[in-house]
Amino acid sequence: MSTSPAESESAALPRLSRRTWILVIAGISALIAAVAWYALTAANEPVRWRDVGFSVESATEITVTYEVYLYTDRDAECTVRALNPRFTEVGVATQRVSRADGAEQRLTTTITTTEEATTAQVQYCEAP
């Protein structure tokens, strides 16, 4: 049994109206603009960081190693924190990062804790 052209047209998806096409194109354009804005905003950050690792030294001390990338001529300041198994902050330290030491640096910071920490990480870095 073959189908006639009239039967196959009725089973096809309906054509989109001109108004619907305009809305679809406007939506896609808005999505592309939002992604581009986010990418440009993220690319303009003056400092970025990447956690490398940590080491539990004792019940009251942990060290964290991280890399900092400076995209400005200003010094930066990083806040690192230690967390217990319940993800409660048990220690915090601030490390100054001097631009004079290079645009890419690997730092190790020791954090004094109130109880034994199970992890440590960079909370944030900023270039004031």
- The Cα–Cα gap between 14 and 103 comes to 58
Which are the contacts of 119, defined by CB distance < 8 A and separation ≥ 6?
A: 54, 82, 83
Per the CB < 8 A criterion, the answer to whether 127 and 45 are in contact is no
* Amino acid in the structure at residue 1: M
User: Digits of tens for pLDDT over the chain (128 positions)?
Assistant: 555 555 555 566 678 888 999 999 999 999 999 999 988 887 778 999 999 999 999 999 999 999 999 998 999 999 999 999 999 999 999 999 999 999 999 999 999 999 999 999 999 999 98
Per the CB < 8 A criterion, the answer to whether 77 and 70 are in contact is no
Half-sphere exposure of 60 (CA within 13 A, CB side): 1
Report field, pTM of the whole predicted structure over 0.85: no
